[in-house]
Structure 1
Amino acid sequence: MRRLLLALPFALVPLVAAHAAEEHDHDHGDEHGSLGAHEHGVGRLDVVLEGKTLEFEFDSPAMNIVGFEHVATSDEDKAKVAKARELLLKPNALFSIADAANCSATSVKLESPLFGDKDDDHDEHADAGDADHHEHSEIHGHYKFVCDAPAILKKLDLSQIFITFPDTKKLQVQLISPGGQSGAEVIAANPTLKF
């Protein structure tokens, strides 16, 4: 499964290239990042359904989840981080998976500098003396489910992510399932992902 997740970006390169060629009619004057750039309001969700295993890789700027990206020093900020961590540790509340599929969470892993995890990329910038380095904390979650009846899964309701974290306006989703691979943008007004 890990190899499949690692291969996901390579498998989707043709899809991204085709989309970029079609939709490249815009102004670069306000562009601040590059491919894979940190964008407030936008999260990324990779979904893989293989056999009876359903996995999610969720990445989001901390701004979408807790409302800030700096190290929590005040009691109020520490409480926000603790509450967000508590909510992110409840995958059944975040991902509305069809009950008939009988999926059980078997693994949940969270990583973020806000949770006290080391951010190697930021350390490299600091070591290099990057005076223009800005703090952009990410929150990463890996969720693994085992489903008794995965064939039941035809769609996934992601509305709870938008309800739980209202500063998340859009999810860029990449999906690999028995039906093939696809990419989609999911928003609160249309939070359903079809397998």
Structure 2
Amino acid sequence: MISNTFFTRSLLLLTLTTPVSADVAAQEQSAHVHGLAELMLAIEGEHIQIEILSPAESIVGFEHQASTPEEIAAYMHAKEQLSFAENVVQFSDGDCQLESVTVNAQGLAPKPEKQTHKHDHGNAHAHEHHHHAHGEKEKHHQEHVHHEHDEHHGAHAEINVSYDFHCHAIEKVSGASLTLFETFKGLEKISAMWVTEQKQGAATLTPTNSMLNLR
């Protein structure tokens, strides 16, 4: 497995030394650009590590906490699809096997079902607090509606995925084809950076130009 130190150092090196266009720089500074994702690939020894960061909108079609049955199904489907490397990337050669994958989409995770607790304090106690409870209920309802509105219109969830591959013939890996475009049609562009122990580079990939050359 690639050490965290190497991966972090590689990312910092790429950020400092790789020239980017003004358009790409503006996109990277933007908090969320729908249809755009970022990819970082690092090669060390016999391992290839890939990190992908994308606005949730580009993957599942929304960027808030899943609440409807359709949104929950899309969230679960995306997590499953991202767990299989062939849905994301295919290497030109090298006999590479996926060793680990981590899918982080916490911002989309549906709320756990609430458990109701019944409390019986007697009819007199219930009558005494009837008007107060009614007012609190109305207040809570208004706050809940407002909170849900904020969640749906103010939140911008992201999906972060990391992969670690072990390649038995790493020297034969000359490129990586991003099948991510075929899996998720909402993706329009991927800003990719890559680094090996000898060199580094960057490229902008699209559905019609999805091959990342590594040599």
TM-score by length of 1: 0.79
What is the match of residue 97 of structure 2? 104
Question: Do the aligned partners of 2:14 and 2:195 also contact (CA within 8 Å) in 1?
Answer: no
| Unpaired segments ≥5 residues, structure 1 | 118-132
Name the residue aligned to 1:172. 191
Residue of structure 1 aligned with 2:171, choices 134, 148, 151: 151
**Distance (whole Å) between structure 2 residues aligned to residue 40 and residue 101 of structure 1:** 33
Aligned-residue CA RMSD in angstroms?
2.3
Greater Cα offset, 102-111 or 7-16: 7-16
Q: Which amino acid aligns with 1:174?
A: M
Q: Does 1:138 align with 2:126?
A: no
Q: Could you tell me which amino acid in structure 2 is paired with residue 46 of structure 1?
A: M
Identity of aligned residues (%): 27
Q: What's the counterpart of residue 85 of structure 2?
A: 91
> How much does 1:11 deviate?
0.4
Q: If you compute each CA radius of gyration, which structure gives the higher value, 1 or 2?
A: 2
- Relative distance call for 1:34 and 1:90 in structure 2 (3 A) is closer
Structure 2: distance between partners of 1:140 and 1:14: 22
Question: Structure 2: which amino acid aligns with 1:63?
Answer: E
Residue 108 of structure 1 deviates from its aligned partner by: 0.5
Q: Residue 105 of structure 1 aligns to which amino acid in structure 2? A: L
Quote how far apart the aligned CAs of 1:188 are.
0.8
Q: Distance in 1 between matches of 2:190 and 2:91?
A: 17
Instruction: Provide the residue aligned with 1:10 in structure 2.
Output: 12
What's the secondary structure of 2:81's corresponding residue?
Answer: helix
Deviations 1:16-61 (A, max 9, x none): 5x43xxx44x7xxxx7x87263211100110011110011001100
| Secondary structure class of the residue paired with 2:66 | coil
Q: CA deviation at 1:165?
A: 0.6
How do residues 51-62 of structure 1 correspond to structure 2 at under 5 angstroms?
Answer: 51-62=45-56
Look up the equivalent residue of 1:5 and give its one-letter code.
F
User: Conserved in 1, the CA contact under 8 Å of 2:181 and 2:188?
Assistant: yes
Structure 2: distance between partners of 1:134 and 1:13: 29
Give CA deviations for 1:111-157 in whole Å, capped at 9, x if unaligned: 1221369xxxxxxxxxxxxxxx9211000001001000001101111
Question: Aligned partners of 2:45, 2:207: CA distance in 1, in Å?
Answer: 29
Asked which structure has the greater RCO (Cα within 8 Å, sep 6+), the reply is 2
1:64 aligns with 2:58: yes
- Choose 105-114 or 138-147, whichever is displaced more: 105-114
Q: Which has the higher helix share?
A: 2
Contact 1:42-1:172 within 8 A present in 2 as well: yes
**Residue among 156, 165, 180 paired with 1:161:** 180
Report the 3-state secondary structure (helix = DSSP H, G, I; strand = E; otherwise coil) of the residue aligned with 1:101: coil
1:127 matched to which residue of 2?
Answer: none
